[in-house]
Amino acid sequence: MKDAPSIQFVKGVGPKIAEKLAARGIRTPQDALFFFPKGYEDRRHLLPLRALKPGMTVPVKGTVIGVHGGMRRFGGTRFLEVTISDGTGHLSAKWFHFHPSLKERFQEGETVILCGTVRFFQFQPEMHHPEILGKAEEHDPVHLGRIVPVYPEIEGVPPRVLRRIQWEVVSHHASTVKEFFPRWMLDEAGIPPIHDSLAGLHFPPSGVDASPLLSFSSPAQQRLIFGDLFFIQWTLARRRAGVMKEASVPLHWDKEIVDEIKRRLPFALTGAQRRVVNEILKDMSNPHPMHRLLQGDVGSGKTIVAWIAALVAWRKEAQAAIMAPTEILAEQHYQRFVSLCKGLPVRVVLLTSVLAGKKREALRKEIREGIAHIVIGTHAIIQEGVEFERLGLGVVDEQHRFGVLQRAALRGKSKTAPHLLVMTATPIPRTLAMTLYGDLDVSVIDEMPPGRKAITTKVIREGERKSAWAKVRKEIAEGGRAYVVLPLVEESEKLTLRDATKTAERVRDAFPGVGVGLLHGRMKSEEKDDVMRRFQKGDIRILVATTVVEVGIDVPEATVMLIEHAERFGLSQLHQLRGRVGRGTRPSFCFLFVEGQQGEDAIARLSVMEKTNDGFRIAEEDLKIRGPGDFAGVRQSGIPDLVFSDIVRDARMLSRSREIATKLLERDPALAQPEHAALARWIASKEAAVPTIG
């Protein structure tokens, strides 16, 4: 392309405005074309004031009958109030913190047009900070008599001015934009080429139905959404293909090995466990590394699956490494593995950062020489100085504590790439998994081991607390154990600590003679482990904790989970916490305490927890309500931000773009064909702009 002209040559853009636009990355008309409305307003019809209803965003026209500037009684904010009338009713427009010159724009008796959202105050309609149009603009197709675009705010450029600039840009430059997706991709995605619809995205033609635009399902929007999602899926498809090419140790298994392993199990596998074991073992017998995500709700029995895979690796003379996010979890895995392996000539070792000096060196030597067969540990496993003789399998437990980088580090621990199994108890909605873990194949354990006792969950309002605590008392009296969990106080760790300490004291007073422990993030890991161990043993019967207990610790005697300020947690996190109980033979309870001030909204949201124990359903709800940013791990995934798309709203296009990306990779992996040349250039420029983690 020729050097693009500067935005300053667009009518209505002077040096000052050009500077403001540049600050938002808009330097050329091309940039402006890709600066899209964040929404639209239907300004096709002026409404009589009498017909206004709260929540409407509309243009109204009237005569100014009063202009009042003043100070608010409280807080001393300056505000301006302008009242207009159109013969059918009145409306007052209000501005707070306004510029003095604003007042001069209104003269009693003059006609004005105001565009804004209607609200009611003391039965009178009003608008706050409406857009003001003069009489001259009444027939201006840029601002009125159509569906108008609403752009993201740009500091120093009033919305009216920005809309006018965009109008100019669209009229003169929209036709210069060329599509870079080849025809076959557009056809398969079911979308029009970009130049067909770019103009309509900014200024929808009259007579168009506004609702598809407002729900982001118009063809032009779908085209952009596709661009977003395709880029991610292409990146992931290539990442996956790259992994596929590496060489790994093929770990062929036979029925005999597996039957022998199964015989050592104290129980029969569930159908879901059998299915995922098959998927995993099949992958492991390939000469290319497995790259698989194992999703399974808390308590669904992922550890056994990892253990089977590790034993198969051992039987095929390869080593296995299991990485857990905390010392105590690593230790718990270690003990379970040791007891499951009793009587077998397999050497299971524990490598955590507690180990130092000679002992650490000795263990590292065992690992290097292949004497240690199954290595269980924390991130100490991926530290420098740890080398495997022949690592066949790497398992990462509770993935959301680890990022893509750690996965890569584990892969680098051996001459041949190990098969990799990532386990997570955070049920990740399918759509999110496709973007976050799109480079992994996915296995799901969607069935609980038999005999699991139901957990009764109740949202507890202020007035019901006593009865909840009475239940705790009863459970404790009958030999149970309880967790009392407090949220992190966002403003300060100090406050969190104070809350937790105070609560622990209150509980101690209320339960004389019962061991009460306190667990929080400020404690050293040895201290935490010590408290957890005493809770496991039963010296501590009530554990007051901040959210550090979230990560999977197994105390089957715990039957009560009481969560303070439940409204401050995401549903998925509550579900994780709840998974700490219901692990034994006794029925369990989860109480979600809601602070008195909290409205029905919070209670309605939390009531999902009362209705279902299905982590996937809960995660879907969470994703709908809170968006993807709250799913731990999203930030560190190395996935570029989505500009136009929303993985919940655009789930269908997400699947489609994944299929198309896969197809393109099969047809023309190097993008060497002429019909893909423009696409290749676009991808290269996107890659230059977003560094992704390999």
308-311 contacts at long range (C-beta below 8 A, 24 or more positions apart): 308/258, 308/261, 308/262, 308/277, 308/281, 309/277, 309/280, 309/281, 309/284, 309/393, 309/395, 309/421, 310/337, 310/374, 310/393, 310/395, 311/257, 311/261, 311/341, 311/344, 311/346
β-strand partners of 83: 66, 92
Q: How far is the CB of 322 from ligand ADP (least distance, A)?
A: 11
The SS3 assignment for 639 reads coil
What residue 296 binds from Mg ion, ligand ADP, none (CB within 5 to 8 A, per partner kind)?
ligand ADP
The nearer residue to Mg ion, 438 or 552, going by C-beta atoms, is 552
The nearer residue to ligand ADP, 303 or 588, going by C-beta atoms, is 303
The nearer residue to ligand ADP, 118 or 310, going by C-beta atoms, is 310
H helix or E strand, kind and range, residue 375: strand 374-377
Name residue, tokens 């610790």.
553
What x-and-dash track marks residues 284-313 binding ligand ADP by CB under 6 A? ------------x-xxxxxxx---------
What residue 301 binds from Mg ion, ligand ADP, none (CB within 5 to 8 A, per partner kind)?
ligand ADP
Stretch near ligand ADP under the rule CB under 6 A, chosen from 5-13, 263-271, 284-292, 671-679: 263-271
Among positions 467-526, residues that touch ligand ADP (CB under 6 A) are none
Q: How far is the CB of 312 from ligand ADP (least distance, A)?
A: 17
Q: How far is the CB of 438 from Mg ion (least distance, A)?
A: 24
Q: How many residues bind Mg ion (CB under 5 A)?
A: 1
Name the closest residue to Mg ion (Cβ): 552
The nearer residue to Mg ion, 37 or 552, going by C-beta atoms, is 552
Pairing of strands 481-485, 131-133: unpaired
Question: Nearest CA to 35 among 44, 27, 47?
Answer: 27
Among positions 4-63, residues that touch ligand ADP (CB under 6 A) are none
Cα(683)–Cα(676) distance, integer angstroms: 10
Among 29, 125, 200, 552, binds ligand ADP (CB under 6 A): 552
Stretch near ligand ADP under the rule CB under 6 A, chosen from 6-14, 268-276, 278-286, 367-375: 268-276
The nearer residue to ligand ADP, 300 or 414, going by C-beta atoms, is 300
What residue 298 binds from ligand ADP, Mg ion, none (CB within 5 to 8 A, per partner kind)?
ligand ADP
Asked if 279 and 305 touch (Cβ cutoff 8 Å), the reply is no
Q: How far is the CB of 533 from ligand ADP (least distance, A)?
A: 17
The nearer residue to Mg ion, 229 or 425, going by C-beta atoms, is 425
Stretch near ligand ADP under the rule CB under 6 A, chosen from 265-273, 360-368, 485-493, 563-571: 265-273
| 270 near ligand ADP, rule: CB under 6 A | yes
627-664 as b/e, with b when 16 or more CB fall inside 10 Å? ebeebbbbeebbbbebebbebbebbebbebbbebbbeb
Token pair, residue 425, equals 């108890």
The nearer residue to Mg ion, 292 or 458, going by C-beta atoms, is 292
Q: How far is the CB of 508 from Mg ion (least distance, A)?
A: 31
| 296 near Mg ion, rule: CB under 5 A | no
CB within 8 Å of 502: residues ≥ 6 apart: none
Q: How far is the CB of 307 from Mg ion (least distance, A)?
A: 11
Q: How far is the CB of 634 from ligand ADP (least distance, A)?
A: 22
What residue 584 binds from ligand ADP, Mg ion, none (CB within 5 to 8 A, per partner kind)?
none
Cα(143)–Cα(128) distance, integer angstroms: 19
Among positions 532-571, residues that touch Mg ion (CB under 5 A) are 552
H helix or E strand, kind and range, residue 306: helix 302-315
Q: Work out the burial of residue 54: count CB atoms within 10 Å of its CB; fewer than 13 is exposed, 13-18 middle, 19 or more buried.
A: exposed
Cα(317)–Cα(283) distance, integer angstroms: 17
Token pair, residue 311, equals 């034993």
What residue 300 binds from ligand ADP, Mg ion, none (CB within 5 to 8 A, per partner kind)?
ligand ADP
Sheet with 391-396, edge to edge strand ranges: 348-351, 374-377, 319-323, 391-396, 419-424, 291-296, 441-445
Among 235, 273, 546, 572, binds ligand ADP (CB under 6 A): 273
Cα(570)–Cα(566) distance, integer angstroms: 9
The nearer residue to ligand ADP, 537 or 667, going by C-beta atoms, is 537
The nearer residue to Mg ion, 151 or 307, going by C-beta atoms, is 307
The SS3 assignment for 414 reads coil
| 480 near Mg ion, rule: CB under 5 A | no
Q: How far is the CB of 599 from ligand ADP (least distance, A)?
A: 34
| 269 near ligand ADP, rule: CB under 6 A | yes
The nearer residue to Mg ion, 7 or 445, going by C-beta atoms, is 445
Question: Nearest CA to 299 among 190, 423, 409?
Answer: 423
The nearer residue to Mg ion, 148 or 381, going by C-beta atoms, is 381
The nearer residue to ligand ADP, 193 or 449, going by C-beta atoms, is 449
Name the closest residue to ligand ADP (Cβ): 301
Among 363, 425, 455, 500, binds ligand ADP (CB under 6 A): 425
CA pseudo-torsion sign 213, 219, 221, 225 = positive
Cα(356)–Cα(241) distance, integer angstroms: 39
Q: How many residues bind ligand ADP (CB under 6 A)?
A: 16
Q: How far is the CB of 479 from ligand ADP (least distance, A)?
A: 19
Question: Nearest CA to 476 among 517, 515, 502?
Answer: 515
| 638 near ligand ADP, rule: CB under 6 A | no
Cα(16)–Cα(156) distance, integer angstroms: 9
β-strand partners of 119: 126
Residues in touch with ligand ADP (CB under 6 A): 267, 269-270, 273, 296, 298-304, 425, 449, 552, 554
Residues in touch with Mg ion (CB under 5 A): 552
